Structures are given as structure tokens and as C-alpha cells.
Amino acid sequence: MATPVIGLNGATISSVPLEQSLVIAKHAGFQGFEPRVPSLAECASAGQVEKVLTRLANLGLAWLPLNALENLFALDQTALTKQVSTIFSLASKFKISQIIVVPGTTRVCDELARAQLAWLKAQAAQHNVKLLYEFIGFRSFAFPSLRQAYRLARTTGVPLVLDTFHLAIGRASFKDITRLPAEAIGLVHLSDAITTGKPLEELADIDRVLPGEGGLPIANLMAAIHQTGYCGPISVEVFHPKYQSEDPYKVAVSAMLRTKQLLIDIGWE
């Protein structure tokens, strides 16, 4: 099986501007970069769209999906339409072909969720972009189990974003992951988390650290994803505040080395 594209999520080195982040990602050995809405909006407002695209092309990096359209099921139609317009416009300007949507904390029935996601998918098609639906394992979020998220994604034809952190806190089983068809997965977010003194249910994004720096069973989770036959991109996404005071290049290099070692250890590379 081919070695997957390894990308760097902008949150991992969020202390530096987007253009500098691209350079750091390339020099650290990454092949792709996962941008986030605020950094793109900042560049667009500063008139730097073409400059960023030229830098991306010169570095030979690929865009990973745009992260993210948040709180999908929590927004009323007016607010959602406004957010969609802004984010889809950014994707178009920066030539990004996929957008990640995140469910949010408002619980909705399956029928309403399917209708909302189908409407959004139709809007995306008009802008020549495709959607990915991120499974979120926080209990306060809508559809917090992998089975629920996959059922929604399957019925609407929107691939999943699988995140090792959310798979762990959502207690997704090895068997449930391996049962997913490879085509049902559009992107993998990779992170570990510091688990000392906390049950899984109390972990938060700020606990997320680079692979091997925490206590999550990420090797087992990644091995299960590998067993599905998935060969798409993997993006390293961490949020622990300690990285903001560290050299972003060293953080990126460590992220790449730890990811490659993990893939070697589970036989993926």
C-alpha cells in the first residue's frame, strides 16, 4: 500500500503567519498543509492570496481540506448561510477543493441533520468544493459515537474525518473502525493527548500533543484505520499551549519524525 501524504495542520504551529507556516512545513518534510479559516481570512484581507498561492506552488506543497465550518447544527439558516458564503468564498480564492464541517453541541434528530448536511452539500457543489464531516467524540456534541457519525455520513454521501483524539475519547472500537469502507474516510487527524490524572471523557483540545507524547492508544487506532485500506492524507493537529512558546520549526520537525516512526511501527510505511 502506498505511503500516505503527511500534512501539517495550521493549529500545530499557529503562532506563525500562514506563509511562514508553509515554509516551515516544507522544510520539516511535510507534503501537505491543512489551512484554517482565520489564517486564510487574514491573508485575504491583506491582499496576499496570490502571494500565498505562489509560495505554495513553489514549495511543492498540496492543500489539505480547509478546517473548518463549525457548529453546523447549532446555527440558524441565516447565520449558516452567512458562514457558508464566507468560507466557500475563501476556499475558492485559495483554490481549496474540500471543506471540513463540524457538528457542534446542538443535538438534532437524524432527519434534520441529514437535511442540513444535504443542503450544505448542494451549496458546496455550486462552488465546486466537496465536504468532509468530522466525527467529534465529545459527549456534548451531536452524534458523538463513530457509528452515529458514519450513519449520517453514509446516508448523505459525505466522507468522514477521523481524528485519533476523538476516536479515543468517543471510545470507538478497533472492530468498528476496521469495518469502515476506505472510501468513507476523507482525512485522518493525528494527535496524542496527555491523559495523566484524567479520564478520557474529561480530556479537552488543550490536552492534545504530538504522537508519542501522550497516553492515547494511537498506534492501535492508526492500525485500525490502515486495515480499512485507507491511503489518503494524514494531518498532524495538536493544540497544547506549550507549543506556542517553542520554536515552530522544531515542533514541525518533531511532528514529522514522530508521525513517520508511528507509521513504520504499525507497518504503514
Distance CA 119, CA 101 (A): 13
- pTM, to two decimals: 0.96
Query: 70 in a domain, yes or no?
Result: yes
**Residue 29, phi then psi, degrees to nearest 5:** 105, 5
pLDDT of residue 1: 57
Distance CA 6, CA 10 (A): 13
Averaged pLDDT score across all residues of the chain: 96
194-232 pLDDT, tens digit per residue, is 999 999 999 999 999 999 999 999 999 999 999 999 999
How buried is 163 (Cβ within 10 angstroms: 0-12 exposed, 13-18 middle, 19+ buried)? buried
98-118 pLDDT, tens digit per residue, is 999 999 998 899 999 999 999
pLDDT of residue 77: 86
CA angle 88, 96, 71 (to 5 degrees): 45
pLDDT at 179 over 60: yes
Distance CA 238, CA 158 (A): 24
Directed axis angle between helix 18-27 and helix 37-45, to 10°?
A: 120
Residues in Cβ contact with 144 at an 8 Å cutoff, skipping those fewer than 6 apart: 136, 137, 138, 170
Q: Which three-class secondary structure state does DSSP give residue 156?
A: helix
In this predicted structure, which of 1-5, 36-40, 202-206 has the lowest mean pLDDT?
A: 1-5
Looking at the structure of the chain, the number of domains it has is 1
Query: 148 in a domain, yes or no?
Result: yes
Query: 234 in a domain, yes or no?
Result: yes
Query: 92 in a domain, yes or no?
Result: yes
pLDDT at 147 over 60: yes
Which amino acid, 113?
A
- Residue 107's domain comprises 6-265
pLDDT of residue 182: 97
Residue 192: CATH number of its domain: 3.20.20.150
Query: 1 in a domain, yes or no?
Result: no
Query: 83 in a domain, yes or no?
Result: yes
